[in-house]
Structure 1
Amino acid sequence: MKVLERQDFLQKLINTIYTPDIKVITGIRRSGKSKLLEMFIENLKNQIPDANIIHINYNLFQFSTLKNAAALNEYVENLYAPNKENFLLIDEVQLCKDFEHAVNSFHASEKYHIYLTGSNAFLLSNDLATLFTGRTFSIEVFPFSFKEFVAYFDCKDLQQAFDRFVMEGGMSGSYLYDSLDDKYNYLNEVFETLIVRDIQQKYKIKNIPLLDMLNDFLVDNISSEISARSLANTLTSKGSKVDDKTVSSYIKYLCASFAFYKIRRYDIKGKKYLASQDKYYLADHSFKYAKLGTKNLDYGRIYENIVCIELLRRGYEVYTGVLYQKEIDFVAVKRNEKIYIQVSDDISRAETMERESSPLLSIKDAYPKMIIARTKHPAYQYEGIAVWDIADWLMK
């Protein structure tokens, strides 16, 4: 299998080497967390040749005897090398019973640089403070970006590459299959495993049909405003009696496993968050095809999903904006930076351009405003709004 060095994520790991935190690598299943850890190990060997590297991968049978905290502790302590930099890297740490006790002990000893990966439902960001007594630093790994897709396949024609990326997505495990059907079968199995193995096991969910129903609804309604209460009412009217608290909890579980990302609504004029409805986006747009097929594709919504995940990948906090009852697709914030973004499939018609630009032109502050669409032209300005072709923007 071809391996692409994911330099951005690798650099984040390198930057943390001499911090005292427990480093936790998170992200959706099959997004490349284990491969990233292997790349990091190779980097350590080159940069710190004398380092003592203790790597435990619980996916491998050779570590099957270390499935409890006492055995793990004994194994690691026996490999500790005094007077060296000791790096402890554990893959799928949740497969070790009471792993947190051993990890906390390693951290308290101040003898190890600790890096962990694991099933997302067992290493949630809001659980880390409970699991570990030491400070944790999370590094979130996303599926391949379009830029990585282009590099992986050595694409020469950017627009043709984007057409492929729209259909194939960023889950690199699917790249090993030749036909789209085989790719989508692989993606569907990954998604089902994510739900059944992680969410059901972690939260002991009994109403699996409801979880499946909510999952399919979110997949089919990416970028739509969704309220747990209205969704519960809809399901009840169709014969599935359920309350909004259960719906809200199940959606939270789906987001906790990085299957979906919740994007909150933000009142731009009032500068406050709106609690009524949120929008949800898939970790990778290709899961939509795997679950529901490719008939009647709404490219505008697919592009919106791609842009949302790319903004998150670039480290922005992302919100959907509301101003004078007009919707702005995204408000992207990073420290003192703020960008207002509209995403569209085709803005070649004057009425479409008017519809997309009008909400942006209503915003009176001086922060940059942008329209991202499938223009297939170089970037240009329209009434002070930067207009980008989506493929070019994803590459910049």
Structure 2
Amino acid sequence: MIERKEYLADLISFKDKKLIKVVTGIRRCGKSTLFELYQEYLIENGVEADQIISFNLEDGIFGDGITSTELYNLVKERIVENRMNYVFLDEVQLVENFQKAVDSLFILKNCDVYITGSNAYLLSGELATLLSGRYVEIKMLPLSFKEYVSAFPEDSNIDRLYQSYIHNSSFPYTLELNRPKDIKQYLDALYDSIVLKDIIFRHRFPDIAMLQSVTRFLFDNIGNLSSTKKIADTMTSSGRKISVPTVEKYLTSLTECFIFYKVGRYDIKGKQYLKTGDKYYAADIGLRYNVLGTQRADQGHILENIIYLELLRRGYEVYIGKVDATEVDFIAINEYGEEFYQVAYTVIDADGATLERELRPLEAIKDHNPKYLLTMDYGPVISHNGIKQINALDWLLNKQMTM
């Protein structure tokens, strides 16, 4: 079992704080395992087993589901008096009006409440209103490249591990599967459960084939500017007529279940957010390969996707940057300020034109914020007038990078 150290540290830091801990993320990214790791930590640090109350709401014992009142009563009857109780509710969004049970447990003085959900609507609407200011969200992703590499301590071939990472998937359970056929079957089932359980069941979309076509379009266009009109026009031109409002509904549902992340654009010089030209990145490249096959794989965009997810893991708010007529792949913002990233699979060519092209957007930014060019080219860290060129795999592994 890979220790998800950063996420585990987040839970530990919020232990016994009067906040509901909400762990969100795509199905099978490791939320349940994180709860198991945290429960082990609690036991190792003096919490008795009867103080831990845990329910996975996907468990077959719940049949067709339970009400929020039944959930509350199930937990309440197990509460130990005069001691803190640690309540874990996995996939709680499956309970209708679950927010009422969560809020009722939260107000009990001896309950520390932790919940997970595989859909962003978990924190929308009534729950967000009811619990405003009383919860903290921990956004979970599948394995980082560094976490993936840690599962192969005997293998020092980082390039081979990277290829395995993007083809075999970053979902933790795929590490337990040895044959490509088994991994494919697992990813097929995972994809079907996301589309059917998290999208079709919730939104009652009548045309599953059209939803899958839009999903394939997004997988095939990671890193490209995409608009609802462009998607609608593409579907219509291929003989599948669809309206722009319907495309918008599909896109919302696909981002709600965390299979894709929508990234907006920001005008760096004008200091304003742009209303058009979003990009979409996939939560897992292995899932992309599983849906599309390996024939249409732009390695530069795949690397860009991996870098984007890593920036999210490191706690950045991420946008696409616009500088005059050029584009910066990512503006990464945290409490310390802004950083700028350009990503290219390689910048090595005969006349240096590729390097010049990739540096141009960063050179157009006239400030002293950190600027990085990440590539798969090997060599020492290079400075191009203050712009650091770093090997992307070294950056992903968080190796000490000095010039």
**Structure 1 residue 126, shift from structure 2 partner:** 5.7
Q: Could you list the per-position Cα deviations for residues 126-158 of structure 1 after superposition, in whole angstroms to 9, with x for gaps in the alignment?
A: 663146577221111100001001111213233
Rounded to whole Å, the distance in 2 between the matches of 1:352 and 1:259 is: 32
| Structure 1 partner of 2:258 | 258
| Structure 2 partner of 1:273 | 273
| Structure 2 partner of 1:8 | 6
Q: 1:217 to 1:11 in 2, by over 3 A?
A: same
SS in 2 for 1:109: coil
More displaced, 157-166 or 355-364? 157-166
Q: 1:124 to 1:290 in 2, by over 3 A?
A: farther
Q: 1:64 to 1:44 in 2, by over 3 A?
A: farther
| Structure 2 partner of 1:297 | 297
| Structure 1 partner of 2:249 | 249
Give yes or no for contact 2:118–2:258 (8 Å, CA) kept in 1.
no
Q: 1:124 to 1:180 in 2, by over 3 A?
A: farther
How do residues 129-168 of structure 1 correspond to structure 2 at under 5 angstroms? 129-130=128-129, 132=131, 135-154=134-153, 155-168=155-168
| Structure 2 partner of 1:352 | 354
**Structure 1 residue 363, shift from structure 2 partner:** 1.0
| Structure 1 partner of 2:202 | 202
Give yes or no for contact 1:22–1:134 (8 Å, CA) kept in 2.
no
| Structure 2 partner of 1:46 | 44
SS in 2 for 1:79: coil
When the two structures are superposed, what TM-score results if normalisation uses the length of structure 2? 0.92
Rounded to whole Å, the distance in 1 between the matches of 2:364 and 2:125 is: 37
Rounded to whole Å, the distance in 1 between the matches of 2:54 and 2:348 is: 54
Q: 1:318 to 1:38 in 2, by over 3 A?
A: same
In structure 2, give the amino acid aligned to 1:200.
I
SS in 2 for 1:123: helix
| Structure 1 partner of 2:18 | 20
More displaced, 42-51 or 128-137? 128-137
Runs of 5+ consecutive residues of structure 1 not aligned to the other structure: none
Rounded to whole Å, the distance in 1 between the matches of 2:305 and 2:330 is: 11
**Structure 1 residue 124, shift from structure 2 partner:** 4.2
Q: Could you list the per-position Cα deviations for residues 182-229 of structure 1 after superposition, in whole angstroms to 9, with x for gaps in the alignment?
A: 323322321221011111111121122221111110000001001112
| Structure 1 partner of 2:111 | 112
How do residues 361-372 of structure 1 correspond to structure 2 at under 5 angstroms? 361-372=363-374
In structure 1, give the amino acid aligned to 2:366.
K
Rounded to whole Å, the distance in 1 between the matches of 2:70 and 2:361 is: 60
Q: Could you list the per-position Cα deviations for residues 223-257 of structure 1 after superposition, in whole angstroms to 9, with x for gaps in the alignment?
A: 10011123223333443332212211210110010
Q: 1:238 to 1:294 in 2, by over 3 A?
A: closer
Q: Could you list the per-position Cα deviations for residues 348-370 of structure 1 after superposition, in whole angstroms to 9, with x for gaps in the alignment?
A: 22111111111111111111111
Rounded to whole Å, the distance in 2 between the matches of 1:127 and 1:249 is: 20
Identity percentage of aligned residues:
37
SS in 2 for 1:18: coil
More displaced, 66-75 or 4-13? 66-75
**Structure 1 residue 376, shift from structure 2 partner:** 2.1
Give yes or no for contact 1:122–1:202 (8 Å, CA) kept in 2.
no
| Structure 2 partner of 1:193 | 193
Q: CA RMSD in A?
A: 2.0
Q: 1:66 to 1:288 in 2, by over 3 A?
A: closer
Q: Residue 77 in 1 paired to residue 62 in 2?
A: no
SS in 1 for 2:107: helix
Q: How many residues align?
A: 394
Q: Residue 55 in 1 paired to residue 36 in 2?
A: no
| Structure 1 partner of 2:401 | none
Q: 1:275 to 1:126 in 2, by over 3 A?
A: farther
Runs of 5+ consecutive residues of structure 2 not aligned to the other structure: 399-403
Rounded to whole Å, the distance in 1 between the matches of 2:126 and 2:185 is: 32
Rounded to whole Å, the distance in 1 between the matches of 2:123 and 2:358 is: 37
Q: 1:124 to 1:382 in 2, by over 3 A?
A: same
| Structure 1 partner of 2:99 | 100
Give yes or no for contact 1:379–1:388 (8 Å, CA) kept in 2.
yes
SS in 1 for 2:365: coil
SS in 2 for 1:225: coil
SS in 2 for 1:273: strand
Give yes or no for contact 1:340–1:368 (8 Å, CA) kept in 2.
yes
Q: 1:368 to 1:119 in 2, by over 3 A?
A: closer
Give yes or no for contact 1:159–1:376 (8 Å, CA) kept in 2.
no
**Structure 1 residue 125, shift from structure 2 partner:** 4.8
| Structure 1 partner of 2:383 | 381
Give yes or no for contact 2:261–2:281 (8 Å, CA) kept in 1.
yes
Q: 1:291 to 1:126 in 2, by over 3 A?
A: farther
Give yes or no for contact 1:374–1:391 (8 Å, CA) kept in 2.
yes
When the two structures are superposed, what TM-score results if normalisation uses the length of structure 1? 0.94
Give yes or no for contact 2:99–2:127 (8 Å, CA) kept in 1.
no
Give yes or no for contact 1:50–1:84 (8 Å, CA) kept in 2.
no
| Structure 2 partner of 1:394 | 396
SS in 2 for 1:159: helix
**Structure 1 residue 93, shift from structure 2 partner:** 1.8
Rounded to whole Å, the distance in 2 between the matches of 1:383 and 1:181 is: 48
Give yes or no for contact 2:300–2:344 (8 Å, CA) kept in 1.
yes
Rounded to whole Å, the distance in 1 between the matches of 2:285 and 2:355 is: 25
How do residues 226-237 of structure 1 correspond to structure 2 at under 5 angstroms? 226-237=226-237
